[in-house]
Amino acid sequence: MRIRSWTGIVLSSCIALAAAGVVGCGGSAATEQVSSANSAATRAPVAQNAHGPVRLVGAALGDVPLTPSQRAEIEQLATDAETRHAGARAARRDMMLALAAQVEAGSIDRDALRPHLDALVAAANASQPGDRAGLERLHAILGPDQRTAFVDALEARLHERMSAFRASHPWKSWSDDLGLTDQQRAQIKAAMEAHFQAAKAGSHEHGGPWEARQHGAKVLSAFKQDRFVLDEIAPARDISRQATRASEHFLGMAEAALPVFTPEQRAIAAKKLREQAEQVDAADSLLP
Q: Find out whether 12 and 212 touch, Cβ atoms under 8 Å.
A: no
Nearest C-alpha neighbor of 10 from the set 60, 48, 49: 60
Q: Is residue 17 in a domain?
A: yes
HSE toward the beta carbon, residue 35, CA cutoff 13 A: 6
pLDDT in tens, 60-73: 999 999 999 999 99
pLDDT band at 190 (very low <50, low <70, confident <90, very high): confident
Residue type, 131: D
Q: Is residue 2 part of a domain?
A: no
Each residue of 159-188: pLDDT tens digit?
Answer: 888 887 777 666 778 888 999 999 998 988
Per residue in 120-129, pLDDT (tens digit) is 899 988 988 8
Question: How many whole angstroms separate alpha carbon 232 and alpha carbon 274?
Answer: 41
Binning pLDDT at 50, 70 and 90, where does residue 264 land? very high
Give whichever of 9-13, 38-42, 73-77, 194-198 has the largest mean pLDDT. Answer: 73-77
Domain assignment present for 232 = yes
- Is residue 246 a contact partner of residue 3, using CB atoms and an 8 Å limit? yes
Is residue 95 within 8 A of residue 117, CB to CB? The reply is: yes
Winning range, highest mean pLDDT, from 55-64, 159-168, 232-241: 55-64
Alpha-carbon span 286 to 223, nearest angstrom = 24
Q: What are phi and psi of 187, to 5 degrees?
A: -65, -45
Q: Is the residue at 252 inside a domain? A: yes
> Residues 201-218: pLDDT tens digits?
555 444 555 566 677 788
* 110 belongs to a structural domain: yes
**Rg value, the chain, Cα:** 21
The domain containing residue 24 runs over which residues?
Answer: 7-277
The answer to whether position 148 is within a domain reads yes
- CA dist., res. 43 & res. 67, Å (int): 9
Average pLDDT over residues 52-57: 86
Q: How confident is the model at residue 54 (pLDDT cuts 50, 70, 90)?
A: confident
Q: What is the C-alpha separation between 66 and 43, in angstroms, rounded?
A: 6
Q: Is residue 1 part of a domain?
A: no
Q: What is the mean pLDDT of residues 89-117?
A: 94
pLDDT at 169: 67
Rounded CA separation 33/69 (Å): 9
The count of domains in the chain is 1
Count of beta carbons in the 10 Å neighbourhood of residue 205: 9
How many Cα atoms sit within 13 Å of 75 on the Cβ side? 13
Reduced 3-state DSSP string for the chain: CCCCCCHHHHHHHHHCCCCCCCCCCCCHHHHHHHHCCCCCCECCCCCCCCCHHHHHHHHHHCCCCECHHHHHHHHHHHHHHHHHCHHHHHHHHHHHHHHHHHHHHCCCCHHHHHHHHHHHHHHHHHHHHHHHHHHHHHHHHCCHHHHHHHHHHHHHHHHHHHHHHHHHCHHHHHHHHHCCCHHHHHHHHHHHHHHHHHHHHHHHHHCHHHHHHHHHHHHHHHHCCCCCCHHHHCCCCCCHHHHHHHHHHHHHHHHHHHHHCCHHHHHHHHHHHHHHHCCCCCCCCCCC
192 falls within a domain: yes
Angle between the N-to-C axes of helices 52-61 and 68-84, in degrees from 0 to 180, rounded to the nearest 10: 170
Contact 85, 52 (CB under 8 A): yes
